[in-house]
Amino acid sequence: MNSNKKVIGAPRVSTFFINLIMVFVLLVILVPMLNLVAKSFSDPAQVAGMSGWRVIPKGFSLVNYQIIFSNPAIWRALMNSVVITVVGVALNVVVTSMAAYAMTRPELPGKSLFMAFFIMMMIFEPGIVQEYFVIKDLGLMDKLPVMMLYNTVTVYNLVLLMRFFSETPQSILEAASIDGAGHLNILFKVFLPMNKIPIMTVGMFYAVAHWNEFFRSSVFLTSNANTTLQVFLRRFVVEGDSTVLASLGSIDLTGISMTGLKSATIVVTVLPILCMYPFILKHYTSGVMSGGVKE
Amino acid sequence: MSGRTLASRNTWVRIKRNWILYAMLMPAILYFVAFKVQSIMGMSLAFYDYRIVGENVFVGLKHFRDLFSTPMFWQIMKNTLIISFVKLIIITPFPVAFAILLSEVGNGKLKKLTQVVSYLPHFLSWVVIAGIWFEFLSLNGVVMDIWETVGGTRMDLLTSKDTIIGVLVASEMWRSVGWDSIIYLSAILAISEDLYEAARLDGANRWQIIRNIVLPHLIPAIITVLIINMGVVLNTGYDQILNFQNDAVLSRIDVIDTYAYRIGLEGTRYSFSTAASLFKSILSLILILVTHFTSKKLTGKGAW
């Protein structure tokens, strides 16, 4: 019903043009992405001659991925990113959901004061020099936990979770507190199970942010051993510095196409995001995707 | 007992009864105090000379005078304003148009596919996007193929001062138009079916319906987005700029953030860099306040 409501009586010509624009959007986004995937799976000898339009590999080969997964520097960076993301998200979810729960209890005196504090935290951006000094003073410089702790709470996610929490029926809370359950019990035994999907959604947003963090990682994690995947990718792909591959051991790159190897590194970096993507779509944008209203 | 003391006693009782709620709020507050409040207070360094050993020395506005008399700084100010406002002005209409088009796509499968694909770049890091775009814009890439077909000569858009801002705008659009259209799409889906029905009975065509029904319903969302974006307009961020920066275009796309990073952390002029950051923070704050009160006056709706 929804999909044809405006199509009735619509001129065929404009429908054709709208479809054409959609196809254009698809091509602009997909062709550069798929071209990289194709190059990563191609025979290294043939990559140089590949057109930017080509989305299927030329002479199939897995050699780039073999190099990536046998290179200690890339492994190290990959593992660092995984550890930071997993531990970081666990911390994010616990701290944010506790705060969101407290902030949505009507019996919390001084709530607007806290909200003003959070909004101020969102508006003010300190200089990078100050962030650097604070991390140094906290003794966290060049230690992996710094990137687990960085952005423990973001106000955006806090407010998002508060919106979901405030929709939980009050009657359930009252029933729980009559049973004598304390706030912590209510949060972990009643609230979290009831709000599984919002919490996972917020967790996904945090996970994407941790995984994609590049600038702060490059400033706060200075040694090769603590490099994250994004920082590695930046040195290798953006700065074109292939010595990073050898930072934790020697490597033989004869006959390897740098473009192919770079493409494969990008694919590996994006893979975890692609795994999370269907979930984010399903729950966060399901409303707008199925034609209903998300509120 | 007066009402006032009774009320304050009540508040005290409520605070005591709900201490556990404060305990639950504490980790979040502590995080902000330890990381952010401390950093913000540290910005007083702009008024001091940094000393490795011993107390910093108060020098008043010295570093600001240095900053304002550096010709380079004004170029960077100009870059920041140009990049910010060009992005804001050029990009804002696209998600609106895209949402309208999406809502008009009759074919359910094409619509869904376009949504799935167009939201994806929002979740890619700038490092990855730069990696993709370097190939996309390379001399034998897709863009130059098309450019040559329409009669141009192949060139490197990434190392030309005249095109780099265009690249920043285009890559930002590539990343965010899809995702940013969601807020407008849900506003469109919230429009009552009766309105369309009535318009059709009156013989309105597709364009008239868009102009007279859909667009007016999108105005509140557009204003909200504009207010939010105005407030953060100077936060050009590090990631996009740093990843698209190269020696050939540095002077054109160096912004306050990246400048403060370069002179402060890659160099060690801590106080000077802090002065630049603080100057940006104050400008941002003024912008936020101005948009808030202007919008409150015009639409009755502020940023908070």
Amino acid letter, residue A219: V
B contact residues 11-40, partner A, Cβ 8 Å cutoff: 11, 14-15, 17-18, 20-22, 24-25, 27-29, 31-32, 34-40
Contact between B117 and A138 using a beta-carbon 8 Å cutoff: no
* ipTM rounded to 2 decimals: 0.89
Lowest mean pLDDT among A3-7, A39-43, A147-151, B47-51: A3-7
Say how far apart CA B264 and CA B258 lie, in whole Å: 10
CB B10 within 8 Å of CB A98: no
| Mean of pLDDT over chain A | 86
Which residues 271-290 on chain A approach chain B with CB closer than 8 angstroms? 273, 276-277, 280-281, 285, 287-289
Tell whether A153 lies on the interface with B, counting CB pairs under 8 A.
yes
Task: For the domain covering B66-299, report its CATH number.
Answer: 1.10.3720.10
pLDDT digits (tens, 9 = 90+) for B119-135: 999 999 999 999 999 99
Range of the domain at A33: 12-61
pLDDT at A92: 97
Chain B partners of A273 at a C-beta cutoff of 8 Å? Answer: 123-124
Residues A159, A108 within the same domain: yes
Tell me the shortest Cα–Cα distance from B298 to chain A, in angstroms.
Answer: 23
Yes or no, beta carbons of A124 and B104 under 8 Å apart: no
User: What is the residue-averaged pLDDT of chain B?
Assistant: 89
Residue A238 inside a domain? The answer is yes
Q: Give the CATH number, domain containing residue A70.
A: 1.10.3720.10
Q: Which of B11, B15, B24 to mutate to test the interface with A (most CBs of A within 10 A)?
A: B24
Say if A219 falls within a structural domain.
yes
Q: Cα torsion at B147, B151, B153, B158 (round to 10°)? A: -30
Which one of A11, A18, A288 has the shortest CB-CB distance to B105?
Answer: A18
* Residue B14 scores a pLDDT above 80: no
Is the torsion defined by CA of A71, A75, A78, A80 positive or negative? negative
Of A108-122, A186-200, B113-127, B230-244, where does the model show the most confidence? B113-127
Chain B touched by A215 (CB under 8 Å): yes
pLDDT at B11 over 60: yes
Confidence category of residue B48, pLDDT binned at 50, 70, 90: very high
Centroid of chain to Cα B243:
17
What is the percentage of chain B residues whose pLDDT exceeds 90? Answer: 59
Position A229 in a domain = yes
Pairing of strands B48-49, B57-58: antiparallel
Window 239-268 of B, Cβ < 8 Å to A: 239, 242-243, 257, 260-261, 264-265
**Could you tell me which residues are beta bridge partners of residue B58?**
B48
| Domain end residue (candidates: A22, A46, A61) | A61
**pLDDT for A272:** 94
Q: Report how many helices (DSSP H) and strands (DSSP E) chain B contains, helices first.
A: 18, 2
A198 and A73 housed in the same domain: yes
Q: Mind telling me how many Å the CA of A169 is from chain B's nearest CA?
A: 19
**Which of the two residues, B231 and B45, has the higher pLDDT score?**
B45
Radius of gyration of chain A (CA): 24
Tell whether A100 and A199 lie within a shared domain.
yes
Measured over the CA atoms of residue B166, residue A211, residue B258 and residue B88, the dihedral's sign is positive
Nearest chain A CA: its distance from B77 CA (Å): 16
* A6 part of a folded domain: no
Instruction: For chain B, give every residue range classified as CATH 1.10.3720.10.
Output: 66-299
A15 interface with B at CB cutoff 8 Å: yes
Q: Which residues of B touch A292 (CB under 8 A)?
A: 189
On whether both A122 and A258 belong to a single domain, the answer is: yes
Domain membership flag for residue A264: yes
Q: pLDDT tier at B301 (50, 70, 90 boundaries)?
A: low
A219 vs B14, more confident: A219
Among A16-20, A176-180, A248-252, top mean pLDDT goes to A16-20
Whether residue A3 lies inside any domain: the answer is: no
pLDDT digits (tens, 9 = 90+) for B255-293: 999 999 999 998 889 999 999 999 999 998 888 888 878
Chain A positions in Cβ-Cβ contact with residue B39 (cut-off 8 Å): 126-127, 130-131, 133-134
Which residues face A60 on adjacent strands? Answer: A42
pLDDT, residue B7, reads 66
CA angle, B35 as apex, B34 and B38 as ends, to 5°? 70
Measure the CA dihedral B2/B5/B11/B15, to 10°: -140
How far away is chain A from the Cα of B129, in angstroms, using its nearest Cα? 9
Smallest CA–CA distance, residue B160 to chain A, in Å, is 17
Backbone angles phi, psi at B49, to 5 degrees: -90, 130
Do the domain assignments include residue A4? Answer: no
Smallest CA–CA distance, residue A108 to chain B, in Å, is: 7
Are A56 and A87 members of one domain?
no
In a domain, A5, yes or no: no
Q: Do B193 and A5 touch (CB under 8 A)?
A: yes
Residues A277 and A225 in one domain: yes
Q: Does B272 touch chain A (CB under 8 A)?
A: no
A211 to chain B: closest CA residue: B125
B184 at the A interface (CB within 8 A)? no
Mean of pLDDT values over A66-92: 93
Instruction: Based on the fold, state whether residues A36 and A136 are members of the same structural domain.
Output: no
- Residue A32 has its nearest CB partner, among B101, B132, B285, at B132
Cβ burial A59-82 (10 Å sphere, 16+ → b, else e): eebebbbebbeebebbebbbebbe
Question: Which of A103, A123, A285 has the CB atom closest to B288's CB atom?
Answer: A123
Instruction: Identify the three-state secondary structure at position A154.
Output: coil
Q: Please, which residues 43-62 of chain A have a Cβ atom closer than 8 Å to chain B?
A: 51-53
Give the span between the Cα atoms of B156 and B163, in whole angstroms: 9
Indicate the number of domains in chain A: 2
Which chain B residues have a beta carbon less than 8 Å from that of A237? 127, 130-131, 134
| pLDDT number for residue B49 | 92
**Does the beta-carbon distance from A263 to B135 stay under 8 Å?**
yes
CB contact under 8 Å between B27 and A99, yes or no, is: yes
In this prediction, residues B172-188 reach a mean pLDDT of: 93
Q: Same domain, yes or no, for A88 and A229?
A: yes
